[in-house]
Amino acid sequence: MSELKIIAHIITDFDEKFGVPRQSGLCSAKGRIIFEPEYRSPDALKGIEEFDYLWIIWGFEGVESDTFKATVRPPRLGGNETRGVFATRSPFRPNPLGLSSVKYEGLEVTENGLTVLVSGVDMRNNTPIYDIKPYLPYVDSHPEASNGFAGEHRSENLKVEMSRELLKLIPNDKRDTLIEVLEQDPRPHYQDDPEREYGLSFAGLNIKFKVSESILKVTRVE
């Protein structure tokens, strides 16, 4: 095999790369998997409800390169240290495949056929999907394993401040996820300018905010 087939796309609230959670499972963000017409068969999902989690193998977009770069600079290490690409989950890799374990939340019939609802997504809206597999804890779960540099450098959550007026502009069922996304500090790790206003595209809204010390203050919702 060399030619990958797109079997589905996932609809999420992240229209831009900025703000997408760094890994799967870090917040409650929802996603809906819509199959391409030729893979749109309810039979293909028979028994999927037996599982709590699913693996999604998907494609990073906008990261393709003709040359192989052996090292990357993980944001978690401040952007200064290098690591081998195969020692990171960076999108800049020979085959830009993403791997996410998401929570299975059910099936729903839509005008696009039977769709799969999931949560804990770390994918941009409309990301192409190449495979879906059940998560099997008896072989996939290694809780005692080392997190490597990703463990040593986990960042503290920010405290999110948002006025009641601004919060009202966010749909009810999106509020918790938005707060979680902001708490996790979507800024590049090496940026720390309290005057800078950032813009996060989320659920069709533009959320403007500033960060000072460990407090993130939402300034506008557009």
Residues 64-83 interacting with a second copy (rule: CB under 8 A)? 64, 68, 70-71, 82-83
Q: How far is the CB of 7 from a second copy (least distance, A)?
A: 5
Distance in Å, CB of 159 to a second copy, minimum: 22
- Given the rule CB under 8 A, which of 2-10, 169-177, 179-187, 194-202 is the region that contacts a second copy? 2-10
Question: Least CB distance from residue 9 to a second copy, whole Å?
Answer: 14
**Three-state DSSP class for 44?**
helix
Determine the Cα–Cα distance for residues 15 and 205; give it in Å rounded to an integer. 10
148 binds a second copy (CB under 8 A): yes
Alpha carbons 108 and 118: distance in angstroms, whole number:
11
Q: Mention every residue, 6+ apart, whose C-beta is less than 8 A from residue 215.
A: 158, 159, 161
Residues 15-19: contacts with CB under 8 Å, at least 24 apart: 15/124, 15/125, 15/201, 15/202, 15/204, 16/124, 16/200, 16/201, 17/62, 17/124, 18/186, 18/198, 18/199, 18/200, 18/201, 19/181, 19/186, 19/200, 19/201, 19/202
Instruction: Give yes or no for residue 151 binding a second copy (CB under 8 A).
Output: yes
Q: Give me the amino acid identity at 144.
A: E
By CB under 8 A, tell whether 186 contacts a second copy.
no
Binding to a second copy by CB under 8 A, coded x per residue (else -) over 105-144, reads -------------------------xxxxxxxxxxxxxxx
Reduced to 3 states, what is the DSSP secondary structure of residue 159?
A: strand
Shortest reach from residue 112's CB to a second copy, in Å: 16
Decide if residue 95 touches a second copy (CB under 8 A).
Answer: yes
Which 31-60 positions form the footprint of a second copy (CB under 8 A)? Answer: 38-39, 41, 43-48, 50-55, 57, 59-60
The nearest distance, CB 33 to a second copy, in angstroms, is: 9
The reply to whether 164 sits near a second copy by the rule CB under 8 A is no
